[in-house]
Amino acid sequence: MNNTDFENQLRALRPVAPSDALERRIAAELSTPSSGLVKKGRESWFGWLFPRLGWATAGAVVALGITAITRTEPAAITAPPASAPAVVEQRSAEILNANDEGLTVDRDQGVARLVRLSSIERRAWVDATGAEMIVEVPREELVLVPVAYQ
């Protein structure tokens, strides 16, 4: 049996008609004056107001707590010292990796070894107020190293 046959059999199914006893019970229930109504108990104003005030108070306490935790004092702005230089700059470079790419022939140098250098160049500045800024620039270079024959 494939899926199409199964689906056709399901479409051919029809529900069974309800019994006479069930129809009579449903008719009797629907004939009463309170049929279809959901009775709700009388709620006092205190029972209606108390939960809402509780949730509002809890939300206010949480908001005030977060505000108190994250509150920061403004930093005092100080003038730079008169003897401090305006800007100090530092440079440095660090070789991370050197890969041998094999031998090659160059028109100017002849036979040379091709070396791929991976490095990071760092520049740092410190201004008169003591603020520091560091910039790192990754570099990749191909260098020809002459080969000496002995």
What residues pair up with 106 in beta bridges, in sequence order? Answer: 110
- Residue 10 CB partners (closer than 8 Å, separation 6+): none
Nearest to 141, CA basis, from 104, 103, 88, 101? 101
CA distances from 82 to 127, 128, 129, 131 (A): 13, 9, 11, 16
Given a cut of 70, is residue 23 above it in pLDDT?
yes
Nearest to 11, CA basis, from 19, 3, 21, 23? 3
Distance CA 109, CA 118 (A): 23
Q: In the chain, where are the structural domains located?
A: 87-146
The pLDDT tens digits for 24-64 are 988 888 887 776 666 666 777 777 788 888 888 999 999 98
The pLDDT tens digits for 60-97 are 999 988 888 887 776 666 665 555 555 667 888 888 89
Q: Which two tokens stand for residue 54?
A: 């509780």
Distance CA 106, CA 112 (A): 7
